[in-house]
Structures are given as structure tokens and as C-alpha cells.
Amino acid sequence: MSIKSIYKNVAKSYGVSVAEVKRDMQAAIKQAYQKPDKSEAERAMQKSLPCSGKIPTPEEFILFAAQEAREKL
């Protein structure tokens, strides 16, 4: 499944646009990364997630989550 199809499926499920899905995902990721009272487990997970900047994009997050899921199966 491509990232594009993931966005489309989520958007369709919630009756919103793909742009809204991306925007809301980025806002949630940003909030998690800027949370001041993170646990050590949260900090470790965030450090292990490869990204091009300080905060991952939704695409980077999806790819990381998919890889983690594959490894656990």
C-alpha cells in the first residue's frame, strides 16, 4: 500500500480531504515532539525515528511505523 493510498483511505473514512489528514497528522506529530514532559521511552522512540529535520513529516512517520510493524510480525 502506498502512502498516497493510506492518506486517501483515512480521508475517505473520516469524510475529510487528504490535505486535512496531512495537516492534522503533522500537527499531532509536532505536538508530540514539542511536549515538555516526555517520558524516557517517548524520547528514545523520537530519537530512533529517522527524519530530515527536527520533527518528522507524516510520510517519514508512516514509513517508520510501517517498518516497525513489519519487524514485529
- From the list 19, 3, 8, the residue with the least C-alpha distance to 65 is 3
Considering the entire predicted model, what is its pTM?
A: 0.86
C-alpha cell at 4: 498516497
Residue 22: CB atoms within 10 A of its CB come to 16
pLDDT in tens, 15-46: 999 999 999 999 999 999 999 999 999 999 99
The amino acid at residue 60 is E
C-alpha cell at 36: 515538555
Per the CB < 8 A criterion, the answer to whether 32 and 55 are in contact is no
